[in-house]
Amino acid sequence: MDTSGKMGPIATSCAQVVAASERPTARNFGERAARIGRLVELGIRCPRTVAVSIDAVGAEHGGAAMDVSPVLDQFEPRPLLSVRSSPRFSRCGGVGVFLWVGLNNAALPMLAERIGRKRALHAYKRHIRNFAYRVHEVEIDSPSRQPGQSTRECEVEVGRLLESFRRKVGTEFPQSPSEQLRAAVRTMAKGWNKPSARLLRTARGFSGETGLGLVVQEMVLCRSSRGMRVWSSQAINVETGRKDFRVGIGEQANSADIATADSEVALSRGWEDELRRIHDKLRRSLADEIQLRFADDGTDVFVLEYGVLQKSVAAEVRVAVELVQAGVIDKQDALLRIDPENLASLLHPQVSPEANNRVIAKGIAASPGAASGAIVFSSSAADVRAARSQGCILVRAETGPEDIRGMHIAQGVLTGRGGMTSHAAVIARGLGVPCVAGATNIDFWPQSGALVTDEGNIFREGDTITIDGTAGVVLEGAAPTLPPDYGRAVRQFLDWADCCRDLGIRANADTLDEVKIALRFGAEGVGLCRTEHMFFDESRLTVMREMIFASTPAERRQSLEKLLPMQRGDFLQLFQSLPGKPVCIRLLDPPLHEFLPPDQDELATLLPPPPLHEFLPPDQDARADLAEAIGLSLEQLTARAEELKEFNPMLGLRGVRLGISVPEIYEMQARAIFEAAAEATARGISVSPEIMVPLVTANREVVLVKRQIDQVAEEVRASTGVDFEFELGVMVETPRAALRAGELAANATFLSFGTNDLTQLTYGISRDDSARIVDEYVRLGVFPADPFSRIDREGVGELLQLAVSRGMDTRPDLLLSLCGEHAASADTIEFSRQAKFSYVSCSPFRVPIARLAAAQAAIRQRRAAG
Ligand code: PEP
Ligand code: MG
């Protein structure tokens, strides 16, 4: 058989021989034709091919009958052809193939000679039946192949089918190849333009008007005992990306699950070397891994087409790395191939695409990954499960300090309230625990040990559910999962990203475990250590509460004395695990009530109406326990709790306001930081502490805190005899701080933008209750996106820019960063680079995402600049 590369040009504008010198374009002939053109150009053996143009197929549908003789001329004297669709874009679907076009009574002997008489007769039967059905929409009810039929019986059946065709269609079965080809073209053009096909295209995101070209190919004839088949081959495993050469029977060009049963048969025919060469050529030419479809004539392989393999993210990364190593693409091209957000699936287990568990709730995808376990409604219930080595999912209306222990134990977290920046979301992301937050379509009845879905299904403590924190859904039962894959290829890939980026990436980390994860994922330091998280451990919570309930500064100091060594130990551990790396420590931020057990009223708001109320444990007990633990009477404790009560605690006594009104707290924290720094320095560890003041609104706040901190630093230097350096900075998270950044920069060497609070305060929308409002607003188009997930460049962004320019006017070497939950998203990273920030700081598990996003932003900018 000739390859098409040796053929001469065709004398028509509506069709084109696919030849090395004349590669059909996808625009004019569709993607399949263009791909065959590439095969021919690469010298890969293909069946002789003519491409019919999109215009010609369109004209055919419009009523202008196509002159097929120039096409047929290319295949004379006895054309036996396949006609396949070649849509402008392969992904918009196609129309079924016509095989054996040209097969007629006269061609039968030639075919019989090539593939055997009986198989030729079977092919003819199939062709007649298919033609009647596709072209005339008439069914000829004879099975195309009956097992054990003799050649004679096949001949009789062909006669019967021809007769049946005449009777049912009303004409003779067309013997003329041109008539058959014209009918095939007409039928395919009609099929492409059917309303259902147009709708399907639209559903796939393409225009209904997308054009269709056709590919007319010589059939590859094979006298094999196994019959003629289309084979499929691929060179890698699509899940892992590892080399894994397979051949199978394949009809689907893009099927990932290629049958392996026939691999040995196929490979025993001696094709392996040739196929590997073809794969290699195409990999180099296309810079990707492909799936081949090919046929054989008993000796040689003829490639019919190829498609780029659909791969998992792990496989995408591995293929990109190997293409760089093979010199096919450069590192920058490799880095641009992967959507940074998709890396999340390499860092956490994911729900398998094969899972078919029922979705029982939807919420915000607050922390990625998948986990299954028994429902528990409290930290102590999580403890019980852990003691029995059982996995569990912590289910809460919303989480608070009391739940941190449970969140550490549980495999996943589900809350009924809260958005991307809620307590549950922030903590879960830090821990790398999958979390769905703000699941509004279920009712939480934690005290009665149940959650109830919209459909009225009740799930009780102990029932198994799966959290899919990547998709933001909760599934019934234990869904199958795929393991994470942070292997060598991913690490290599991210090392390249580091060489390309110019924005620093730090992590928000409060515990040693988080620091370890952050370092493993490539963080360059800690950009936000929320010190309050260090007090949520049970042993410290009581001392913290004792401090809160102290009635005099002297009493308070006594409690703080107990906390001091604990904090010092925390910071020393941090410095030791991050030698030479910057550690930005935020002084205590949340209102003190966050450290207290929730009171009766607060609990009541989380619960459904009576009678379930009756299941409430009397809150008095919790208070009595606490009173006893800290040596107060219940009355004293209740009175103090009343004093601390605020209508709007998040806008109340928190952040630097707390530091100023209860100065002993920041003093203790500063001392703990400096003593730890002195000790680390004395041990030869280089430390770079940065102290950050939260929720600032006025310059005087910074002045007061700075004075106090400088004094403590001097005292510690004097008492330890160790000299150490530190930086003092401001967390810009109120609009006023952004506007007054010029003034603040006089006393701060760095500004770190806390975009969670800054978004909350700029919009005046509570970050913990935002889910419901924002969902609706996004749906109605009021907001283009959730501003707590995607930075609002217009409003919040303008405040950031103002702060940057005012701050830099005062202090040109001001260090700028962003540490809100937006930090790792590509959009924020692009913004941060443009705004000349030094770094962004995000949850440890998002560090790889941020590294890649930062590299991509830098590469794109360099490329745009030429
Ligand atoms: C912020 O407000 O953006 C921030 C990082 O701090 P937190 O989330 O702890 O309030
Ligand atoms: Mg904040």
- Ligand that lies nearest to the alpha carbon of residue 755, given by its number in the listed order: 1
> What pLDDT, in 10s, does the model give residues 756-771?
999 999 999 998 888 7
Q: Is 819 in the pocket of ligand 1 (CB under 6 A)?
A: yes
> Global pTM?
0.82
- Ligand that lies nearest to the alpha carbon of residue 426, given by its number in the listed order: 1
* Crossing angle of helices 634-644 and 619-630, rounded to 10°: 100
Element (H, E) at 491: helix 488-500
- Position 626 scores a pLDDT of 66
Q: Is 757 in the pocket of ligand 1 (CB under 6 A)?
A: yes
Q: Which two tokens stand for residue 105?
A: 């009574």
Buried b (16+ CB within 10 A) or exposed e, 837-861: bbbbbbbbbbbbbbbbbbbbbbbee
- Contacts for 811 with CB less than 8 Å, ≥ 6 apart: 745, 746, 749
Which ligand 1 atom lies nearest to the CA of residue 819? 5
- Ligand that lies nearest to the alpha carbon of residue 752, given by its number in the listed order: 1
| Residue 543 near residue 559 (C-beta atoms within 8 A) | yes
End-to-end CA distance of the chain: 48
Q: Is 803 in the pocket of ligand 1 (CB under 6 A)?
A: no
- Position 353 scores a pLDDT of 82
Average pLDDT over residues 526-537: 90
Q: Is 767 in the pocket of ligand 1 (CB under 6 A)?
A: no
- Ligand 1 mutation pick, 732, 734, 756, max ligand atoms within 8 A of CB: 756
Q: Is 733 in the pocket of ligand 1 (CB under 6 A)?
A: yes
- Position 147 scores a pLDDT of 65
Which ligand 1 atom lies nearest to the CA of residue 820? 3
Average pLDDT over residues 828-850: 95
- Position 621 scores a pLDDT of 66
- Position 536 scores a pLDDT of 77
Q: Is 755 in the pocket of ligand 1 (CB under 6 A)?
A: yes
- Ligand that lies nearest to the alpha carbon of residue 841, given by its number in the listed order: 1
Angle at 849 between CA 844 and CA 851, to 5 degrees: 90
Q: Whose CA is nearest to atom 10 of ligand 1?
A: 757
Q: Is the peptide bond before 812 cis (omega within 30 degrees of 0)?
A: no
How is 427-469 classified by DSSP, letter by letter? HHHHHT--EEE--TTEEEEGGGTEEEETT--EEETT-EEEEET
Q: Whose CA is nearest to atom 4 of ligand 1?
A: 754
Catalytic center residues: 423, 819
Mean pLDDT across the chain:
87
Q: Is 590 in the pocket of ligand 1 (CB under 6 A)?
A: no
Average pLDDT over residues 431-455: 83
Report which of 187, 181, 230, 232 is spatially closest to residue 212, judged by C-alpha positions: 187
Residue 641: other Cβ atoms inside 10 A: 17
Q: Of 57-61, 265-269, 512-516, 583-587, give the lowest mean pLDDT range.
A: 265-269
Q: Which two tokens stand for residue 7?
A: 């053929």
- Ligand 1 mutation pick, 421, 651, 692, max ligand atoms within 8 A of CB: 421
Q: Which two tokens stand for residue 299?
A: 């000796």
> What pLDDT, in 10s, does the model give residues 215-251?
999 998 877 655 567 888 999 988 889 999 988 876 5
Which ligand 1 atom lies nearest to the CA of residue 760? 2
Q: How confident is the model at residue 262 (pLDDT cuts 50, 70, 90)?
A: very low
CA separation for the pair 142, 122 (Å, rounded): 12
Has residue 144 got a pLDDT over 70? Answer: no
CA separation for the pair 451, 637 (Å, rounded): 33
**Ligand 2 geometric centre to CA of 276 (Å):** 56
**Ligand 2 geometric centre to CA of 756 (Å):** 6
Average pLDDT over residues 430-443: 87
- Position 537 scores a pLDDT of 76
- Position 84 scores a pLDDT of 94
> What pLDDT, in 10s, does the model give residues 620-665?
666 676 667 667 777 776 777 677 777 888 888 899 999 999 899 9
| Residue 276 near residue 201 (C-beta atoms within 8 A) | no
- Position 231 scores a pLDDT of 85
- Position 603 scores a pLDDT of 37
Average pLDDT over residues 34-43: 94
Q: Is 768 in the pocket of ligand 1 (CB under 6 A)?
A: no
Q: Of 29-38, 169-178, 542-551, 827-836, give the lowest mean pLDDT range.
A: 542-551
Q: Which two tokens stand for residue 36?
A: 């065959």
**Ligand 1 geometric centre to CA of 51 (Å):** 60
Residue 796: other Cβ atoms inside 10 A: 24
Which ligand 1 atom lies nearest to the CA of residue 753? 3
Average pLDDT over residues 455-462: 88
Q: How confident is the model at residue 119 (pLDDT cuts 50, 70, 90)?
A: confident
Indicate the DSSP class of residue 650.
Answer: G
Has residue 470 got a pLDDT over 60? Answer: yes
- Position 252 scores a pLDDT of 36
Size (the chain), residues:
866
Q: Which residue has the tokens 């040109």?
A: 812
- Contacts for 505 with CB less than 8 Å, ≥ 6 apart: 522, 523, 524, 839, 840, 841, 842, 847, 850, 851, 854
Q: How confident is the model at residue 565 (pLDDT cuts 50, 70, 90)?
A: very high
> What pLDDT, in 10s, does the model give residues 63-98?
888 889 889 999 988 899 999 999 999 988 889 999
Q: How many helices (H) and strands (E) does the chain have?
A: 34, 30
**Ligand 2 geometric centre to CA of 807 (Å):** 20
- Ligand 1 mutation pick, 420, 766, 819, max ligand atoms within 8 A of CB: 819
Q: Of 11-15, 327-331, 612-616, 639-643, give the lowest mean pLDDT range.
A: 612-616
Q: Is 296 in the pocket of ligand 1 (CB under 6 A)?
A: no
Q: Is 422 in the pocket of ligand 1 (CB under 6 A)?
A: no
Q: Whose CA is nearest to atom 9 of ligand 1?
A: 530
**Ligand 1 geometric centre to CA of 813 (Å):** 24
| Residue 486 near residue 347 (C-beta atoms within 8 A) | yes
Q: Is 694 in the pocket of ligand 1 (CB under 6 A)?
A: no
**Ligand 1 geometric centre to CA of 652 (Å):** 15
**Ligand 2 geometric centre to CA of 486 (Å):** 31
- Contacts for 848 with CB less than 8 Å, ≥ 6 apart: 343, 346, 347, 486, 490, 494, 521, 522
Q: Is 820 in the pocket of ligand 1 (CB under 6 A)?
A: yes
Which amino acid type is present at position 423?
H
**Ligand 2 geometric centre to CA of 481 (Å):** 34
> What pLDDT, in 10s, does the model give residues 337-394?
999 999 988 888 889 888 899 999 999 999 989 999 999 998 889 988 887 878 999 9
**Ligand 1 geometric centre to CA of 421 (Å):** 8
Phi, psi angles (nearest 5°) of residue 522: 95, 20
- Ligand that lies nearest to the alpha carbon of residue 419, given by its number in the listed order: 1
Q: How confident is the model at residue 322 (pLDDT cuts 50, 70, 90)?
A: very high
Phi, psi angles (nearest 5°) of residue 716: -70, -40
CA separation for the pair 324, 331 (Å, rounded): 6
Which ligand 1 atom lies nearest to the CA of residue 508? 5
CA separation for the pair 310, 294 (Å, rounded): 19
Which amino acid type is present at position 201?
R
CA separation for the pair 62, 544 (Å, rounded): 81
**Ligand 1 geometric centre to CA of 514 (Å):** 17
Has residue 611 got a pLDDT over 80? Answer: no
Q: How confident is the model at residue 476 (pLDDT cuts 50, 70, 90)?
A: very high
Which ligand 1 atom lies nearest to the CA of residue 421? 8
- Position 605 scores a pLDDT of 40
- Ligand that lies nearest to the alpha carbon of residue 759, given by its number in the listed order: 1
**Ligand 1 geometric centre to CA of 284 (Å):** 47
Which ligand 1 atom lies nearest to the CA of residue 756? 3
